[in-house]
Structure formats: structure tokens, C-alpha cells
Amino acid sequence: MADRLTPGDTAPDFTLPDADGTPVSLAEHKGRKVIVYFYPAALTPGCTKQACDFTDNLELLAGAGYDVIGVSPDKPEKLAKFREKESLKVTLVADPDKAVLEAYGAFGEKKLYGKTVTGVIRSTVIVDEEGKVEHAWYNVKATGHLAKLLKDLKI
């Protein structure tokens, strides 16, 4: 498991396919703040709640200068189904080989129903205009996380 990122670290750059297979890279967002959030699986209850919360607040976040990118190990085809089923507006990218998840410390051992398992650690990283980590939260809850995020970012 990769080390977790901390404020001041350089955010690992990435280029991953979105739900349509179009490459999306962190570098394209230079000059804007980016909320990169990592979630275990599209079309599951918690991940759906989180993606809908981001979609519902996308205009508010964009108005405050933030772009949002959701990263999961799902394939682009599954992300497309997820986007269509839930009318999502947030950019979702596929990381099936988990390289970006690992680079951000969002993949590794976690507790699930009392057992230690290896998988995606629900996390959110704020990358500033220069590509540096501004905030990093790990083991966040799907429900209520966005409200806390808005409060922490003073939006």
C-alpha cells in the first residue's frame, strides 16, 4: 500500500479514461482546485449517495473554483451505466489496474464488517491550483461527507 498523502505533497499526476473512454488528466486542471475522490464501486448504495451528493453540489463547487473527479476501479462501461442510471454530472474516471488509487494511498487494508480486507479506501484529496495536496481525508463515510467537506472548505 502506498503512503497516504499529506498537505504540501505533490499530487500524483494521472490520465485515466472517463465513462466515454475519453482521457482525463489531473494536469488539464492546473490553475483550478480539484477535488479527487476515490470510491469502491459504481452502482452500490454508498457510492451512489456520494456521487449524487457531488452532482447536486457541482455548481456550488465550480462557483467556488473546484473541479470534481471521482475515481474507482470500475471499467468505463460500468461508469457510463452509473452516470446514466443516476443522472450524474460529476466526472468519473476508471482505474481498473488501481495504479492511481495506490499512488494516492486510497487502496490497501481496511476494516469491512469487522474483517481486515484489501480494497478501495474511500478517500478525498483536494489538489490546489499548483498541483499540491491541500487536504487529504481517508476512510470517509459516503453519507454526510460532502456536507462536512463544504463546511471544511468554507463553501
Q: Reply yes or no on whether 47 is catalytic.
A: yes
Q: How far is CA 53 from CA 47, 48, 73, 129, in A?
A: 10, 8, 20, 23
Report the amino acid identity of residue 33. Answer: K
Query: Is 132:3 a contact under the CB 8 Å cutoff?
Result: no
> What is the enclosing helix (H) or strand (E) of 49?
helix 45-56
Cell numbers placing 30? 492546473
Query: What SS3 class is residue 112?
Result: strand
Q: How far is CA 102 from CA 84, 119, 153, in A?
A: 28, 10, 25
- Which candidate in 11, 26, 35, 47 is catalytic? 47
How large is the angle between the packed helices 145-152 and 45-56, nearest 10 degrees? 40
List 127's β-bridge partners, or say none.
34, 133
* DSSP annotation of 128: -
**Catalytic positions:** 47
